């Protein structure tokens, strides 16, 4: 399976989700449309991140613009009659752009998002790199962005397998911590990295923990690895970072992390040791979080 195949499958899934959202929007189902637009927007934001290596810089610009349009359509649905947001007819113009993003140019984007970008940065806290922002404002925007993403997560759809190549589904069941009940909106970022620590697929955030039971944060969500295991380079690993919101700092912090290498990928239950932050994607400095028997509990499924 080629790298291009992975891009094509991801784009096809996005376009299908986009059409589903605009359909329910047209049918007058705003809550369903908003939920779908927000989920898709978060997925596009993940892949437009500077650290994501799936798309070119030009394609990332387009993904970012589409994400902004989706966010602004949500605003229009949430505030009927307001001048805020964009019309459905304008939003539908970007469907072909999303479907053919590999051959598009950012300057040819069918919707003028100049004003929308300013509005989105003001109201949605999307990360910017403008040096004119003061530190407090920038941190507040970034915290709001990450906090908003964490609520529902940014999990990607199940990819299609071609040629009988194995695809991995990871059910994140629970994670054990002695002070589990104290964390605010904890979620787990799952990423696939090569030996040098570079992304092989877009990182995905789980929704926040569905419950807290004793010393455990409970998730029970499926994360679909977007590439077949056999196509990944030697020395790759899958990382799991537990993150939580700190209201005093208006920031999201990493509490601990775990990882799984290729020889550990076997169907069935798995329990991974937890390590102290900061996350070391090169796996050179490993310091256990605790000597107590507390782990990240997963269930692996390899399907074709």
Nearest residue to 217 via CA among 274, 287, 142: 274
Between 17 and 51, whose confidence is greater?
17
278 preceded by a cis bond (ω within 30 of 0):
yes
Report residue 49's pLDDT band, with 50, 70 and 90 as the boundaries.
Answer: confident
Between 230 and 81, whose confidence is greater?
230
Residue 131 has pLDDT above 80, yes or no: no
Residue 272 has pLDDT above 50, yes or no: yes
Tokens describing residue 10: 């991801």
Contact 212, 218 (CB under 8 A): yes
> Which pLDDT score is estimated for 150?
43
> Which pLDDT score is estimated for 196?
92
Between 182 and 120, whose confidence is greater?
182
> Which pLDDT score is estimated for 141?
41
Residue 128 has pLDDT above 70, yes or no: no
Gap between the Cα atoms of 20 and 32, Å rounded: 10
- In terms of C-beta density within 10 A (0-12 exposed, 13-18 middle, 19 or more buried), how is residue 31 classed? exposed
Q: DSSP string covering 256-294, please? A: EEEEEEGGG--SEEEEEE-EESSP-TT-----BS-SSS-
Report residue 17's pLDDT band, with 50, 70 and 90 as the boundaries.
Answer: very high
Between 2 and 76, whose confidence is greater?
76
Q: What is the DSSP letter of 217?
A: E
Nearest residue to 239 via CA among 166, 298, 162: 298
Q: What are phi and psi of 127, to 5 degrees?
A: -65, 135
Domain(s) labelled CATH 2.60.40.150 in the chain stretch across 167-303
Residue 138 has pLDDT above 60, yes or no: no
Tens of pLDDT, residues 278-303: 999 999 989 999 888 899 999 999 98
Residue 114 has pLDDT above 80, yes or no: no
Which CATH number fits the domain 167-303, given the four candidates 1.10.10.10, 2.60.40.420, 2.60.40.150, 3.10.20.30?
Answer: 2.60.40.150
Which is it for the CA torsion 215, 183, 292, 269, positive or negative? positive
- Residue 173's contacts (CB-CB under 8 Å, 6 or more residues apart) are 218, 219, 220, 297, 298, 299
Q: In the CATH hierarchy, which fold is given to the domain comprising 3-126?
A: 1.20.120
Average pLDDT of the residues of the chain: 82
Tens of pLDDT, residues 208-262: 888 888 899 999 999 999 888 888 999 999 999 999 988 777 778 999 999 999 9
Residue 44 has pLDDT above 80, yes or no: yes
> Which pLDDT score is estimated for 9?
83
State in Å, rounded, how far the first CA of the chain is from the last one.
13
pTM of the complete model: 0.55
Tens of pLDDT, residues 163-196: 677 899 999 999 999 989 889 889 999 999 999 9
- Residue 185's contacts (CB-CB under 8 Å, 6 or more residues apart) are 147, 150, 151, 208, 209, 244, 245
Gap between the Cα atoms of 11 and 184, Å rounded: 33
Domain(s) labelled CATH 1.20.120.360 in the chain stretch across 3-126
Gap between the Cα atoms of 276 and 274, Å rounded: 7
Count of C-beta atoms within a 10 Å radius of residue 303: 11
């Amino acid at each position: 399976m080629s790298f291009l195949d992975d891009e094509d499958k991801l784009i096809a899934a996005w376009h299908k989700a986009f059409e589903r959202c605009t359909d329910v929007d047209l049918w007058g189902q705003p809550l369903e449309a908003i939920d779908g637009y927000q989920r898709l927007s978060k997925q596009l934001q993940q892949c437009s991140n500077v650290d994501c290596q799936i798309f070119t810089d030009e394609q990332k610009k387009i993904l970012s613009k589409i994400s902004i349009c989706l966010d602004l359509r949500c605003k229009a649905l949430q505030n009927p009659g307001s001048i805020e947001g964009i019309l459905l007819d304008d939003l539908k113009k970007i469907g072909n752009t999303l479907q053919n993003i590999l051959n598009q140019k950012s300057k040819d984007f069918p919707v003028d998002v100049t004003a929308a970008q300013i509005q989105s940065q003001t109201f949605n806290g999307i990360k910017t790199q403008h040096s004119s922002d003061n530190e407090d404002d920038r941190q507040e925007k970034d915290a709001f962005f990450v906090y908003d993403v964490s609520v529902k997560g940014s999990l990607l759809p199940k990819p299609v397998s071609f040629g009988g190549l194995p695809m991995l589904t990871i059910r994140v069941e629970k994670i054990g911590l002695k002070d589990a009940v104290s964390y605010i909106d904890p979620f787990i970022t799952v990423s696939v990295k090569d030996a040098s620590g570079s992304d092989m697929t877009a990182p995905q955030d789980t929704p926040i923990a569905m419950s807290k039971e004793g010393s455990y944060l409970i998730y029970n969500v499926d994360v679909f690895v977007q590439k077949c295991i056999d196509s990944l380079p030697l020395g790759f690993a899958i990382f799991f970072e537990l993150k939580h919101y700190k209201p005093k700092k208006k920031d999201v912090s990493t509490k601990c992390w775990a990882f799984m290498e290729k020889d550990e990928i076997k169907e069935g239950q798995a329990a991974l040791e937890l390590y102290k932050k900061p996350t070391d994607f090169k796996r050179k400095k490993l310091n256990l979080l605790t000597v107590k028997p507390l782990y990240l509990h997963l269930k692996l499924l390899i399907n074709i």
